[in-house]
Amino acid sequence: MFKILAINLGSTSTKMAYYEDDICINRVTEEHPTEDIVKFPDIMDQHQYRKEIVEEFLEKNKIDKSSLDSIVSRGGHTKPLEGGVYRVNNEMLLQQASGMYGRHACDLGSKIAYEMCKDTKAIPLVVDTPVTDEFEPVARLSGHPLMTRHSRFHALSHKATAKRYARENGISYNEINLIVAHLGGGISVAAHKNGRMIDGDNALDGDGTFSTNRTGALPVGELVKICYSGEYTYDEVKRMLNGEGGLVAYLGTSDVRTVEKMAETDEKAALCLEAMIYQVCKEIGAMSTVLCGDVKAILLTGGIANSKYVVQRIKDRCAFIAPIVVFPGENEMESLARGALEALRGEETIRELTADCI
C-alpha cells in the first residue's frame, strides 16, 4: 500500500488530501480570506503561511510524514512541458522562483512538497503542470513576434475533468472534442481535440475572461497608458492583473457567493457578475470555432460551477453549441493522487525537468 499526500494550492485556497493507494482517507480545503492574502506583497511570500497549513493537516490527522511514499502537488510555472508526472528537482524550483514563466500559488505547492520530502523516503511529484503545452502552431501567434501566446492555465483540472467525462460515458478522451471551462479563482477555457488541449486562455498573465481576482484580457491601449503613467510600479501592475483584478477590483471580494447575494439588491454587483459570465460564454463560443463546431460537450468545473445561477446563465447562452455537463468543484485531488500512485507502481514514468526542456 502506498501512502500519498496530495496538495493543491489555489489563489484563494489550500486543498489537502491523504490517500492510501486510491482511497481518500482525509481531505480538507482551507479557504483564505482576501484580507489574509493581500497582506503578502508577492505570492511567494505566502510560503510559510501555506506550509504551516499543510503541516497542521498532517498533525491534526495523525499522519506521520516519514511514512509517506509521495507528496504530490499540482505543480508550478516552468518552461513548457509535456503532460505527465515529474519529480520536483532543483531546476524546477529555480525556474519557478524566477517568475519568468508566470507566478501563482501553485508554484509554492511544489516547493513545499520538495521541502517536506527532505530526509524521508517520500518522492516529491507534480502532475500535468500548468505549463503543459499541447497548442497547435496557429494558436501561438499573438499579433506581434515579440509576444507569443503561451499554454498556461488549469491543465490538471482540464485534463481530469475531460478524462472523467470520457470515462463515465464509456468513450475515449483521445477520440472526442470537448470545451472545458474551469471556473475558480482563475477562469480558463480550452479546446480539447482528440486528447490534446490545442488552444486556451493564458489565465495567469491576462487572457480570456476576468475572474474573481484576475483581469483577464484588457484593452491593450489603456493598459499601456497605465504602465507609462508613472503612477504605478511594475509589481503594482502585475498585482492588478493577478490577485487584485476582476471582482476584487470592482467589488472588494473574491467570493462569488457573496457577490450573488450582493447582486440581489446592488445593481453594480449584478452587472459585474453578469459581465464575468458573459465573458466566459464569449470564450466558450471562441473555442467552438477552434473545433469547427465539432464539440461533443461543454464541461464546467471548478468552485464557481457550484453556483446554480452561474451555470444556468452559461446554459442560456451556450447550450446551442453542445450539451453542457457540470462537474462542480474539482477532480484535481483524485487526479494528483492517481498520477502519483501510477508513478509509484511503475505504471507511469517519472520524468525529470532539465534546463533544456522545451
* Domain residue ranges in the chain: 3-132+333-352, 137-147+154-322
Closest CA to 109 of 83, 82, 71: 71
Closest CA to 216 of 236, 242, 190, 184: 242
* Most distant CA pair in the chain, distance: 59
For residue range 328-347, list pLDDT tens digits in order: 987 889 989 999 998 999 98
pLDDT attached to residue 160: 86
pLDDT attached to residue 329: 86
Q: Interior CA angle at 69 toward 98 and 155, to 5°?
A: 45
pLDDT attached to residue 153: 87
For residue range 191-219, list pLDDT tens digits in order: 999 999 999 998 878 899 999 999 999 99
Mention the CATH class of domain 3-132+333-352. alpha beta
CA 310 to CA 212: how far, in whole Å?
Answer: 13
> Same CATH topology for 3-132+333-352 and 137-147+154-322?
yes
Return the CATH number of 137-147+154-322, one of 3.90.740.10, 3.40.50.10800, 3.30.420.40, 3.60.150.10: 3.30.420.40
| Residues contacting 306, CB < 8 A, separation 6+ | 328, 329
For residue range 283-337, list pLDDT tens digits in order: 999 999 999 999 999 999 999 999 999 999 999 999 999 999 999 987 889 989 9
What are the 10-residue block averages of pLDDT along the chain, 358 residues in total? 95 92 95 83 88 96 96 91 91 92 87 96 94 93 93 87 92 96 94 95 88 95 96 94 94 96 97 98 98 98 96 98 94 90 92 77
Supply the angle between the helices 155-168 and 332-344 in degrees, to the nearest 10.
90
Q: Read out DSSP for 5-69?
A: EEEEE-SSEEEEEEEETTEEEEEEEEE--HHHHTT-SSGGGGHHHHHHHHHHHHHHTT--GGG-S
Q: Where are the alpha helices (DSSP H) in the chain?
A: 34-37, 47-60, 90-98, 106-117, 155-168, 220-227, 234-241, 246-251, 256-263, 267-290, 308-318, 332-344
pLDDT attached to residue 35: 81
